[in-house]
């Protein structure tokens, strides 16, 4: 595995990803245990999605195989289309750009486009 980001080492990305996965687990446990108030559930799901997106970017930077990253990203599509409120332009741009750059098929790209466009 060859690091794609020359500013940080593998250990940095390993630690970052581990900490982010712990945050996701905490949020998912809180959701599963009913600890999150109803009006906060969607914002927590949005936060989970953003953390997962950050992990994808870190895995790319760390040098993980593109096929693994692509599969993990594809696994996020349902969460994106179901929970994402799409309110922040920059986050939408990141999500759409990564989908395109990973070479996802046109069906998935169209799902993302429709979600971003609010359809």
Q: Is residue 94 part of a domain?
A: yes
Task: State the pTM of this model.
Answer: 0.86
Question: pLDDT tens-digit profile of 8-57?
Answer: 999 999 999 999 999 999 999 999 999 999 999 988 988 998 899 999 99
Q: Is residue 84 part of a domain?
A: yes
With contact defined as beta carbons under 8 Å apart, do 29 and 48 qualify?
no
Q: Is residue 59 part of a domain?
A: yes
Question: pLDDT tens-digit profile of 52-110?
Answer: 999 999 999 999 999 999 999 998 888 887 766 666 678 778 888 898 889 998 888 88
Per the listing, tokens 């994106």 go with 80
Q: Is residue 4 part of a domain?
A: no
Domain extent at residue 41: 10-116
User: From the centroid of its chain, how far is CA 87?
Assistant: 15
Q: Is residue 87 part of a domain?
A: yes
Q: Is residue 3 part of a domain?
A: no
Q: Is residue 1 part of a domain?
A: no
Q: Is residue 82 part of a domain?
A: yes
Indicate the number of domains in the chain: 1
SS3 50: helix
């Amino acid at each position: 595995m060859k690091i794609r980001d020359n500013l940080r080492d593998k250990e940095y990305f390993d630690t970052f990803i581990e900490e982010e996965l712990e945050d996701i687990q905490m949020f998912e446990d809180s959701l599963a245990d009913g600890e999150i108030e109803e009006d906060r559930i969607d914002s927590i799901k949005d936060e989970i999605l953003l953390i997962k997106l950050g992990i994808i970017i870190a895995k790319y930077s760390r040098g993980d195989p593109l096929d693994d990253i692509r599969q993990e990203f594809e696994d996020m599509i349902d969460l994106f289309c179901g929970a994402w409120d799409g309110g922040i332009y920059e986050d939408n741009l990141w999500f759409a750009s990564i989908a395109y750059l990973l070479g996802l098929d046109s069906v998935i790209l169209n799902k993302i486009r429709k979600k971003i466009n609010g359809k």
